[in-house]
A and B are shown apart, each in its own frame.
Chain A
Amino acid sequence: MITRTAASSRLGGRRSHPGNHAYIFVAPFLACFVVLFLLPLGYAGYLSLFKDQLVGGTVFVGLDNYLRAVQDPQLLDGLRRVLLFFLIQVPLMLLVALGLALALDSGLLRLPKLIRLSAFIPYAVPSVVATLMWGYLYGPDFGPLTQLGDRLGFTAPDLLGDAWMLASLGNIVTWEFAGYNMIILYAALRTVPSERYEAAAVDGAGPWRIAWHIKIPALRPALLLCLIFSVIGSFQLFAEPNLIQRLAPTVINSSYTPNVYAHSLAFVSQQVNYAAAVSFLLGFVILAVSYAVLFVSSRNRRR
């Protein structure tokens, strides 16, 4: 009886929703998504509501960790720093990527494949390796820049010092990701129908005008995509400062960026619960900024 009803209802379901098969195909993804993403996320959210002390054990504290986080000067400092980083580094990087993509697309470059590949290679280098390499180049005593300065008689700036650190990190990130963004933009450019260029050329537009009036507007969705990725990347800045910290331990402190701070809270200070709250808060900030970017750009488009 029971099995028959179950079977018939399944049959009936199949008949009325032919799309049910799709679940079988998405199941592996869904399982991974739930196990590797939703469950940890939920668990972190759960953790963030408690407080675990070395003496006294774990107690439920509700939203106390969040209240503490929004007033935590170390976290706010870190947030301000990544915001500044985002405002300066991202436009520069996207300009470089855009310039490269337009130059490649113009067909005027020699050896375009080689240039495309060499611009992309930094992205293929793991960020750890890239950071270690740049860390060496920035070296205050024996780095190539310092040695060049010694030869030519100028004092190279201390690129690992307080004043230059954020710019030095920005340079590493730009080096790593400009090529990646270039590929996205270049791919988007290849999808622009060539009739538009012909029409523009017939109307007397030169290459610069074509770039400005046709190519860049056509790139808008791709640029937006790059921008959203960059919001996330900037606010989650971690690997680069974490590695450079070994070279400049007194410049990059434990709360240099919010992610570095969360990591330090969890693994140095044993405050896993507070670290979870900080991470969640950071997630909300990223959501808010991403939404703001989307909102502003879609409003602009309507106008």
Chain B
Amino acid sequence: MPTSAPHFTRRRLLKLTAVTAAAATLAACSGSASNPASGPTEAVSQDDIDKAMMTPTTLTFWTWVPNIDQEVALFQKKYPAIKVDVVNAGQGLDAYTKLRTALKAGTGAPDVAQIEYQYVPTFSITKSLVDLRPYGAAANRSKFVDWTWQQVTGPNGEVFAYPQDTGPMGMLYRADLFEKYGIEVPRTWDEFAAAARKLHAADPKVYLTNLAANETAGWHGLMWQAGSEAYSVKGTEVGLAVNDAASKKVASYWGGLVREGVVSTDPDFTDNWFQGFNSGKYATWLTAAWGPVFLSGSAKSTTGKWRAAPLPQWDTAEPVSGNWGGSTTAVITGSKNPIVAAKFAEFLNTDLNATKMFSEVQNFFPASTTLLADPSFAGRKSEFFGGQQVNKLFAQISATVDVGWQWPPFLDQSVKDWTETAGKSLADKSDVAAATDEWQARLKAYAKDQGFTVSAG
């Protein structure tokens, strides 16, 4: 942890709560860069690239990542002609609002920006992200975990960003509470439900978990794990099925546990919620790979009592997980120096020293395959988790994240509609599965109003 742990965690949480998780209209059909259905521009020659990297240039980079100056310094050391202005334009929604305003105004937008996976389609639909293929992006594909690459790839194989950090989902649990109440670590959702009942019956003040009724990002991660195909995008045609069978399975499951009163639904990332971890109100947190570091900074009084495990499974034969959080580096349309900008984004996320530094200084959970396998990263032991090699576990989980998940080109709206339908019914203990129908109906009406052709899934 950096010394500014609480600060870091606050920022982090904003970024993560800002909404769900990931990103690109991957469109499985044409996800491969080797199959460019409508390759836009030709590849830029190495000579042009070399020349651009020697020409004195200033880039503007909007990011909320704390201390990113250190990684930027590595780039500037390698390319002394290039100067990068790092600007903190706020986090999550704040940053996106500023970015949209600048894009609309036609002036003031940065060359390079931090974009969360789930927002890549929201910005690529407005043609605000530069396709990085002409700058040699495709060659980097193998450096990233498969599913993260899918997340930044457009329907025609465009590469809209470089993956930076990720949040494959797992389960953090209080080993001491589990032992006290004789609960085995649940491997399936059925076992999890049984454990929730048992624990709450043993101590009505403790809940096996808190499923925050405002956490669309976490919920999307659970839908992702269950194999929902909620969104798909192909040009101006958008497939919406946020109430498909997998989604309803998740909704009925959690709706049931919440109605039984054995799982709480407190809003997350609030003071009340932080206190809940410190006071032992919640015995698990279903969270992402950034969760362990986050929690160790927010619930210090429980150091040593936590352990990490994979998410409970619907089908143990094929372990699968979803993702919650993480972000990318994208080049913004209108940049006067797209070559330099693209190479900067590439360096930041493929240079071994830079990616390693992200995992050490910012505690990012990497998208880089090399780093995930690196013993210096995977072998790290966490005192908060009683010496467990938490990174190693989450690296294994990362390999099980489903590659098929896509995001809609209007994520904000989906998040809002989820909160007011499914989220509200969780809080009110009403029929969550039925609420997903309402979610679907609202989203469909919105998509049509925005001029999309809407198909069912």
The answer on a CB contact under 8 Å between A250 and B451 is no
Interface residues of A in 120-147 (CB under 8 A from B): 136, 139-142
Does B281 have its Cβ within 8 Å of any Cβ on chain A? yes
Contact among A141, A247, A250 with B419 in the assembled complex (CB-CB below 8 Å): A250
Contact among A53, A141, A250, A251 with B276 in the assembled complex (CB-CB below 8 Å): A141
Interface bits B405-434 vs A (CB < 8 Å: 1, else 0): 000011011011001100110111000000
Distance in Å from the Cβ of A2 to the closest Cβ of chain B? Answer: 39
Q: Which residue of B lies closest to A51 (CB)?
A: B449
Complexed CA–CA distance, A139 and B273 (Å): 10
Complexed CA–CA distance, A197 and B167 (Å): 73
> Quick one: given A246-B270, A250-B424, A269-B416, are A55 and B236 in contact (CB under 8 Å)?
yes
> Quick one: given A56-B451, A246-B267, are A141 and B272 in contact (CB under 8 Å)?
yes
The answer on a CB contact under 8 Å between B275 and A253 is no
Does A268 have its Cβ within 8 Å of any Cβ on chain B? yes
Distance in Å from the Cβ of A80 to the closest Cβ of chain B? Answer: 17
In the complex, how many residue pairs between chain A and chain B have their CB atoms under 8 Å apart? Answer: 76
> Quick one: given A54-B451, A268-B413, A268-B416, are A248 and B125 in contact (CB under 8 Å)?
no
Does B97 have its Cβ within 8 Å of any Cβ on chain A? yes
Interface residues on A, range: 20 to 34
Contact among B126, B419, B428 with A54 in the assembled complex (CB-CB below 8 Å): B126
Q: Which residue of B lies closest to A248 (CB)?
A: B267
Q: Which residues of B contact A248 (CB under 8 A)?
A: 267
Complexed CA–CA distance, A248 and B214 (Å): 9
Complexed CA–CA distance, A139 and B271 (Å): 9
The answer on a CB contact under 8 Å between A54 and B270 is no
Q: Which residue of A lies closest to B270 (CB)?
A: A247
The answer on a CB contact under 8 Å between A140 and B412 is no
Distance in Å from the Cβ of B387 to the closest Cβ of chain A? Answer: 31
Interface of A is mostly: loop
> Quick one: given A136-B271, A248-B267, A254-B420, are A53 and B97 in contact (CB under 8 Å)?
no
Q: Which residues of B contact A157 (CB under 8 A)?
A: none
Of the listed residues B93, B125, B275, B449, the one surrounded by the most CB atoms of chain A closer than 10 A to its CB is B449
Complexed CA–CA distance, A139 and B266 (Å): 11
Complexed CA–CA distance, A33 and B93 (Å): 31
Q: Which residues of B contact A164 (CB under 8 A)?
A: none
Q: Which residues of B contact A56 (CB under 8 A)?
A: 451
The answer on a CB contact under 8 Å between A249 and B93 is no
Does B3 have its Cβ within 8 Å of any Cβ on chain A? no
> Quick one: given A55-B452, A248-B267, are A141 and B275 in contact (CB under 8 Å)?
yes
Q: Which residues of B contact A140 (CB under 8 A)?
A: 266, 272
The answer on a CB contact under 8 Å between A54 and B416 is no
Distance in Å from the Cβ of B237 to the closest Cβ of chain A? Answer: 9
Complexed CA–CA distance, A139 and B272 (Å): 7
Does B213 have its Cβ within 8 Å of any Cβ on chain A? yes
Does A168 have its Cβ within 8 Å of any Cβ on chain B? no
Distance in Å from the Cβ of A114 to the closest Cβ of chain B? Answer: 32
The answer on a CB contact under 8 Å between A249 and B272 is no
> Quick one: given A53-B450, A142-B275, A247-B270, are A267 and B416 in contact (CB under 8 Å)?
no
Q: List 7 A-B contacts (CB under 8 A).
A: A54-B409, A54-B450, A141-B275, A247-B267, A250-B423, A267-B93, A267-B97
